[in-house]
Amino acid sequence: MTRRWFAHALALMGALNLAAVAPARDKEVQQPSLSYLRDIFPSIYRPLPRADTLIVHATILDGAGHRIDDGELLMRDGKVAAIGHDLDRTGATVIDAHGRWVTPGLIDIHSHNGTYVVPLTTIDEKASDVSELSDPNAAGTWIETAINPQDPAFPLALAGGVTTLQVLPGSDPIFGGRSVILHPITATTMQAMKFPGAGQGMKMACGENPKGENAELHRGPTSRQGELTYIREAFERARHYMEDREEGGGDHHGPPGKGHHPMDDNPMLDTLAAVLHGDIPVQMHCYRADEMAVMIDLSHELGFRIAAFHHAVEAYKIAPLLAANHICAAVWSDWWGFKMEALDGIRENAAFVDAAGGCAMMHSDSPFLGQWLNVEAGKAAAAGRRAGLSLPPEHVIAWITSNPARALGLDDRVGSLVPGKHADAVIWSGDPFSVFSRAEMVFIDGAKAYDRADPHYQPGSDFMLGRAPQAAR
């Protein structure tokens, strides 16, 4: 059964890859041929006004493993044009970053900004947009349809050096739904923040959260084994759905809106089918090592791809297994103990994942931590160094730049300051891993989106307007 499915999936991969490989930069986003992947809410993001910029005399960590002292970064037409020394400054605005550090824009692979909208009120207590809770299977939901761009957490993430973030649904459903990748540039609509051409992920959750919620709501599996079986059944349904649509010559090979509908679209099964196709990677909330190992086996059996385990407090116990399966681990620096499945958290987690050749990432999950990912990485790396590992800054910066870019499938565009990639960069007041350093300027697509010294480049959400004065009396 599974082998048959694998063959089926491989046959389809070719067609899908065309859409995936030509991810139409910025403006021209091509619609994939399968309806499963149709972008119903296309990005209308446009880079902010920009000028070609040359940053000089900076300590640069390029996100690709290099450190360039007294280095230069040239950004032209929104792309990294060159990095090194003595670059051509013709027509470029020059910024002297003496004593400053430059890194790629930070990427938060696990944010709830826009859905865990502050201030929290009893409205959210009753019905929050973090997760759809009517069913343990919310795979059909798209979190982007809930994003409130006026969440005050977005401009604060930007001020913390974040240039790209993935908003994930919460972990109470087993299938949380599709994620969305945004730039934290406050806009009037979600579409205007949406990273053009970025794919979606699907949130899934293991362990305590879904089973606890199910038990409380008297619906869905109430045990880990129940969750596993539930996942198998859901994917089995999705496989039949795909086969039926293939055999029925469904509309999904034609352009949107044309052809007949041999059967109803099912948003839930569409998502699961896209996951089985390998077009939407799974972003899986999992704490315990044993559970992650079970989920890896399950992914092999059913034929889906886990891009990353999120929270993953026990990733260090199975670091080689994660590395062998090319699964990233998104972790906190020091959160532990607050629930049973988080008891074994250690501060060396990211470092041990890294030491096994794996892909370690810091994530926020919280609008507070989402402003301090650099400090998170600093803490986690320091713990690793104390355990005897060599973790130079030029390597550690990958945990909050190129590694999350990889897990999001965006490493061809962002996450490192390599010529041709998007000019997403941060100028830090000092060592980016120090608590004393702040992001001074943040560039997205070569445009200055934030400047700590210039109020004209400090976006604020509508929510904060017209309230009690923010100046000291």
Applying CB under 8 A, which residues contact another protein? 118-122, 152-153, 156, 208, 316-317, 319, 334-340, 343-348, 352, 355-356, 366-369, 371-372, 375, 378-379, 381-383, 386-387, 389, 433-438, 463-464, 467-468, 470, 472-473
Minimal CA–CA distance to 70: which of 80, 59, 62?
59
Euclidean distance between CA atoms 75 and 52, whole angstroms: 6
Minimal CA–CA distance to 347: which of 309, 385, 291?
385
| Strands 101-104 vs 53-61: parallel, antiparallel or unpaired | parallel
Strands of 306-399, DSSP E: 306-311, 328-331, 360-362
Cα–Cα distances in angstroms (integers) from residue 347 to residues 316, 329, 333, 359, 383, in the given order: 10, 14, 6, 16, 6
Tokens of 261: 């509908």
Three-state DSSP state, 5: helix
381 Cβ contact list (under 8 Å, min separation 6): 350, 351, 391, 393, 396, 399, 433
Euclidean distance between CA atoms 391 and 384, whole angstroms: 7
| Strands 101-104 vs 425-428: parallel, antiparallel or unpaired | antiparallel
Do 326 and 305 meet the contact criterion of CB atoms below 8 Å apart?
no
Q: Which residues of 357-386 are buried (b: 16+ CB within 10 A; e: fewer)?
A: ebbbbbbbbbbebbbbbbbbbbbbbbbbee
Euclidean distance between CA atoms 178 and 141, whole angstroms: 6
Euclidean distance between CA atoms 45 and 368, whole angstroms: 25
Q: What angle do CA 18, 20, 24 make, to 5 degrees?
A: 95
Euclidean distance between CA atoms 129 and 190, whole angstroms: 14
CB closer to another protein out of 371 and 401: 371
Euclidean distance between CA atoms 408 and 420, whole angstroms: 18
Tokens of 184: 């934290």
Tokens of 382: 């320091």
Euclidean distance between CA atoms 73 and 425, whole angstroms: 9
Euclidean distance between CA atoms 122 and 115, whole angstroms: 14
CB closer to another protein out of 316 and 399: 316
The tally of CA atoms less than 13 A away on the side-chain side of residue 419 is 7
Tokens of 358: 């794996």
